[in-house]
Every structure is written in structure tokens, then in C-alpha cells.
A and B are shown apart, each in its own frame.
Chain A
Amino acid sequence: MASPALTAAVGEVGKGFIQERSSDTLPCQATDKLFCWDWASEHIDRYGTPTLQHLELVAISVLIGFVVAFSLALLAHRHRWLQPPLLAGTGVLYTIPSVAFFFLLLPLTGRGEDTAIIALSAYTLQIIFRNTMVGFANVPKAVVDAARGIGQTDRQILWRVELPLATPEIFAGLQVATVSTVAIATLAAFAGGGGLGEPILKGGISFKTNLIIAGGIAFLIAVSLGLILFAAQRLLTPWRRARQT
């Protein structure tokens, strides 16, 4: 976090915000208080746009990540030899430090939302790909054998048997990918991608009220999206709740 590039970026973007802040005369923000309620209630509206941007970043990135990773998983499911290279490839993407990833992309794709989405999507690939493969692997062999034995084609087995049975793992992957994307998306601001990272960047790390509000909103987004996905998974897999009576 202490790379010179980062410090420079913070200083640069932060300047305007601090000046703006110093023109205010509220006493609280000058102090070292943890949370300034008056400031918060007066400025809460300035988080509206970053919140929507954040949601948009997460939704688009996870969607793209899911489409790509899921397609790769289907491919690797049919052609087993693709599994190790794809796992390694998505793994390498996953290990690139996030801030570095944004800056690496800048010369290629320029500042803006696109760059942020590319990086964020890339991060979801590994989790979604791996979980989908785990889901396929966990489908009982006997069920697939029976499906083939009663005359289902490979495509029917995939869509009617394997995918439904892999749903819990696929959703678990989506859940982790979504929650972590909510967190990483706060760094999109470095690439000019907007989101909740922007107020943090502008406000600097010393103004705690700002940090708490932006961080709190990100936290709430992560929790709600996680819960929504969990609920969706439960709705889609009613058989898992059926118990012996």
C-alpha cells in the first residue's frame, strides 16, 4: 500500500477534497473524533452516486466473470486436459496484487470504468471457475451413470443433472466472488473507475467519518448481495432442504 505511486495518487486526488473540507466551519471534522454525526447527516447524499457506481461495477464485473469462468468450466468439463492450464491461468490472475493490476492496465485501457471492470472480472475467474469444477466433481458418479444408462445425451446430462446438482458449489463461488469484488472495487477509484473508493480517496485516510460511511456502505452491499445469493441458492435447490420425515 505504501508504493510511491499510491501515495502520489492519494495526494493528488485528496487535495481538492481536503480544501473543500477546510472551507467548512464544522468543528467536528477538525477534531480526531471517530464519527461526526452532523457532518454525516449533512453530506450523506454525496455517497449516493459512488454507491450506485459501486453496485454497477460489482454487478457488471461479476456477471462478466461468471460468463467467462462458467464457459471455461464447461469447456474444461468436456475436455479434461484443459483443467490444469485453466486453473493455473486464472490462478495467476488472482495472485496479481489488486492495486498493481489497476495500474498495469492503465497504459493499455486508460483511466475509467472499463479498466476497473476488466481487473475486477479477472479476479472473479479463479473462484467461479474452481467452484464450478468442484461442483461438477461432486456430482455422484452413480447419478451420472444412471442418467447415461436411461438414455440421456451428454448435453441432457449436463443441463438436467450435473448443473442442477452443482448449483450449491457454483453459488458458493458466486457468493465469495461477489463479496470480494465489493471489497476490491473500492480500489477502482485508482483507475478512475468511481465507486465507494472515490470518497475515501478524496477524503484521505485521516477523516474517519468519511472512511466509516464509505466502508460501512461497502460492507452493507457485500452483506446484502451475499444474502441475496444465498437466498437464491436455497430457492434453486429445494431438494437439499427436504428431510427424512
Chain B
Amino acid sequence: MPSEEVTDRRPSSGASAVRYAGATKRYGHSAVAAVDELTLEIPAGEICVLVGPSGCGKTTAMRMVNRMVEMSAGDIFIGERSVRDLSPAQLRREIGYVIQQIGLFPHRTIADNIAAVPQLLGWKKDRTRARTTELLELIGLDAELAERYPAQLSGGQQQRVGVARALAADPLVMLMDEPFGAIDPISRERLQNEFLRLQAELRKTVLFVTHDIDEAIKMGDRIAIMREGGKVAQYATPAELLMAPADEFVEDFVGSDRALKRLALMRVADIDLWEAPLAHVGQATAEVRAKLAEPTVEVPYPLLVDSERRPLGWLSERDLAAEVVPSKPDSPLGPLLDRDDIMRDALADLLQGEAQYAAVTDAEGRIAGVLSVEIISEFLASPKAKSEEHGAVERPHG
């Protein structure tokens, strides 16, 4: 019995590669296939986002994996095994399933909802209870909520429970169909970040369907952009997709702001920062002025730092008119960035603070350099930077 195999598996141990081998779905005798000979390989432990306009077959492609939609031709393999080797119900118990409308059982408590698959698999009560408690903790839900009903939870909390239910029996693969689509933008961002944090730990193979390219770029290790008729227009990492769209369709879908989108994939540390002339409290202003006069100077304002090289503020002309550098600078520090900040957020801080320059600090709070809007725009424009970007890509965490 395959269900016994599942029972024996240790939590958080399994993830299998998913391989589409010419998977095709044709409804009735329609000449146009909903999904046309899809061949795609998703490595174990990665998030693959299926993205595309409505009607492109992305949901159908996803639902063929757990046979909620039966293939007309071709095959899909989870690990070495075809999805056709098990009965649909048995197959589905090994695959996590999260949908946009959440679909919690309204008549069951939160604990029972999470325990749904373990119960189907016939786990012992103690084991199920322990797993439920573990999952509630994992998704950051108060244990008190375990005996509540879904209607008593917020939409965001409900979808967390939806994810927990999908994870309960430690599935080989997770299918997520626009899981955060019906949730308000602020909660959505939090849920996305939480899921990425979970995923960093669990390393499940995830098929994630969305129509939102920004979500695709944020969530995906790989993105399959699909076009009408269930064809894959491009299958690539987010950075490749933004840098080198395969054709006009992909370019259009990714959007004219793809340069900006690339910033969501980078951190401040990934770019060459400028150096500001540093000044210390009590230092002679003549010394500082001399530094400013050097031809190689990149930032025309001196940055006041303390003895630990932690930035305090910018010195103005008036500050420099004095004999020694004052302890309280004339201009406030303005936006202060961290080397680990996402570049897109850093740019937003710069623009929002109406600042030309922003000091960037390392983990200890010491000055690491200066970021300006100019650096960012030069970076985006330079072809050299584009080739560097490959190595620079790192998943943003919230």
C-alpha cells in the first residue's frame, strides 16, 4: 500500500523532481489543446512558477500533476514514478494542494483541517496531534486557534492553515494555485515572505500558479511563462527571464518595467557602492576640505562618522566653515540602508527620502559605502552589470 510508505516517511525528508513528458490535455474533440505536449522538468526542492495570461493552461497543467485533470496524452513523473501508477486519491494524499479560495472545511476545527490528510492516511492519533501542533507553530498560528472554526479566522490566517493542511503529511510535491491571490496586498506580501522562509527550511518541490509576473519573479526559482494553448514560451530563472526574454510575447508579459523588476532580485551589496569622504568629530575641517578637493572623490559631501565608523550625518558647507568638525552635523543622515536590503526597496527609500545619497552600513552598523540613484541607473544601463547579475541573484527575504 502506497499510503503505508507515506506513513513511514520522516517529516521534512522528501521532495521529488517533477517531470512533464509531453503531457497534453484536450477537452472533447477540440482542435486546440488546453495544454499541448508540455515537457518540463522541475528539480527537487525548487519552486517552479507557472505564469501566463488567463486561458493559457497554467492551472490545467498544474492540476494534471495530481490528476484533478486527467491527461489526454503524455505522462508526468514524480521522481521515477508516473502519476498514473497510483489511484487518484492515493496520489493526491502524497501531494500538497493549496488553492486560491483556500477551501478549508468550514465544519471542522483548525486542528481537524490540518489533520485531514494524516487522518486519511490512518495515522495514529498521537502522531497526528503532534504533527498538528508542530504545523501550527511552523505557520506561526497561536495554539489557541486549534479548536476554532475557519470562519473565526482572518483570510490570511485561513490561508496559512491551508498551507499547513497541504504540508501535514510531508508531501513530495506541493501544488499551489494562486494561493495568495484572494488576499489583501499587505497580507499577501507577508504570506509570500513566510512561505519563502518555510520553503528555505523544507525545500519542497513546488508548482506555483499565478497570473502576476511580480509574484512569479519573487517566488520562483524557475519560471515557466505560458502562452495560449498551453505552450511554454520560456522556462528560465527569473534573472534570465528579465535579462533575455525569449521573444516578444515574453517581453510584453514581463512588462516594460523589467529593468526595475530586476532590482527586486538584487541586494545593495551586489552593486559597487561609492565611497564618501569620511569625517570625524573634532577633526580639522581643513583636512576634510582637502579630501573633497581630490579629483577621485565620488560623493561631494563628507559623511560624519563616530569612532566606530558608524554614520552620524552629512556635513554641509556651513559645518565646514568652522575650525573643527562639529559633533552635530547640519544635515540629517537621511535614508540609512543595510547591505542586505533589497535593491528595489533601497531605491524606494532613496526616492521617498528625496535624498541624493544614502549611507549603507554592514551588519555591525559601520559604514560600507554610499548608494545613489545614479549608481542604480548606471548599473541597469551597463551591459557589464547585466552579465554580473547572474551571480548576484539571491532570493529576497522579507
- Residues on A close to B: CB < 8 A? 140-153, 156, 161, 164-165, 237, 239, 242-245
- Please tell me if the beta carbons of B107 and A237 are within 8 angstroms of each other in the complex: yes
Main secondary structure of the interface of A (DSSP, over half): helix
Main secondary structure of the interface of B (DSSP, over half): mixed
Stretch at the interface among B33-41, B84-92, B242-250, B273-281: B84-92
Name which residue of chain B comes closest to A149, CB basis: B97
Name which residue of chain B comes closest to A154, CB basis: B89
- Please tell me if the beta carbons of B120 and A151 are within 8 angstroms of each other in the complex: yes
Write the nearest CB–CB distance from A163 to chain B, whole angstroms: 10
11 more A-B residue pairs beyond the given contacts A146-B102, A149-B175, A151-B89, with a C-beta to C-beta distance below 8 A: A143-B103, A145-B99, A147-B105, A150-B93, A150-B97, A151-B88, A151-B91, A164-B107, A239-B106, A239-B107, A244-B151
Taking CB atoms, residues of chain B closer than 8 Å to A150 are 92-93, 97, 116-117, 120, 165-166
Taking CB atoms, residues of chain A closer than 8 Å to B99 are 142, 145-146, 149
Pairs across A and B, CB under 8 Å, 25 listed: A140-B106, A142-B99, A143-B103, A143-B104, A143-B105, A144-B103, A145-B68, A145-B99, A145-B101, A146-B104, A146-B162, A148-B92, A149-B175, A150-B92, A150-B120, A151-B88, A151-B89, A151-B92, A151-B93, A152-B89, A153-B89, A164-B107, A165-B107, A239-B149, A244-B152
- Residues on B close to A: CB < 8 A? 66, 68, 88-93, 97, 99, 101-108, 116-117, 120, 148-149, 151-152, 162, 165-166, 175
Write the nearest CB–CB distance from B239 to chain A, whole angstroms: 32
Write the nearest CB–CB distance from A95 to chain B, whole angstroms: 35
> Assuming A149-B68, A242-B149, is B90 touching A142 (CB within 8 A)?
no
State the CA gap A237–B105 with chains docked (Å): 13
State the CA gap A140–B107 with chains docked (Å): 12
- Please tell me if the beta carbons of B152 and A161 are within 8 angstroms of each other in the complex: no
- Please tell me if the beta carbons of A161 and B105 are within 8 angstroms of each other in the complex: yes
Write the nearest CB–CB distance from B78 to chain A, whole angstroms: 14
State the CA gap A148–B93 with chains docked (Å): 10
Taking CB atoms, residues of chain A closer than 8 Å to B152 are 242-245
Name which residue of chain A comes closest to B94, CB basis: A151
- Please tell me if the beta carbons of B120 and A142 are within 8 angstroms of each other in the complex: no
Taking CB atoms, residues of chain B closer than 8 Å to A145 are 68, 99, 101, 103
- A149, A165, A242: the one contacting B148 at CB < 8 Å is A242
Taking CB atoms, residues of chain B closer than 8 Å to A141 are 101
State the CA gap A22–B89 with chains docked (Å): 75
Taking CB atoms, residues of chain B closer than 8 Å to A237 are 107
